[in-house]
Amino acid sequence: MAYGDYDGPNKPDKGHEGGSCNRTLCQDNPADWYNHGSHSWYCESCMRAIRFDTFNLRDWERKWQPKCGHPMFETRAQITARENV
């Protein structure tokens, strides 16, 4: 389901790993992309829209990535690999 297509109650697993996307008006699953800014999980489609938005990308790369040392969004496998180095 594309962002903006859903108009109903939030699913109980909204924003949880493997559950429904955390983005408002999106209930797509699986939510496999963790956003380090919002501390929630997103579907791939919404991850791309948020991550590659000009403002969001520039802000993350300038303010946060140098401090954090990782991208704005990661999968569980990417987080685990980075933490086990």
Domain count, the chain: 1
Q: Which residues contact 67 (CB under 8 A, 6 or more apart)?
A: none
- Rounded CA-CA distance 19/31 in Å is 5
Q: Output the average pLDDT for the chain.
A: 91
Q: Flag whether pLDDT at 11 surpasses 60.
A: yes
- Residue 17 Rama label (left phi>0; alpha psi -120 to 50; beta): beta
**What is the extent of the structural domain holding 79?**
1-85
**What tens digit of pLDDT does each residue of 66-85 get?**
999 999 999 999 999 998 87
Q: Token pair for residue 24?
A: 């408002």
**What tens digit of pLDDT does each residue of 17-72 get?**
999 999 988 889 999 999 999 999 999 999 999 999 999 999 999 999 999 999 99
Query: Residue 3 has what pLDDT?
Result: 59
- Rounded CA-CA distance 57/52 in Å is 6
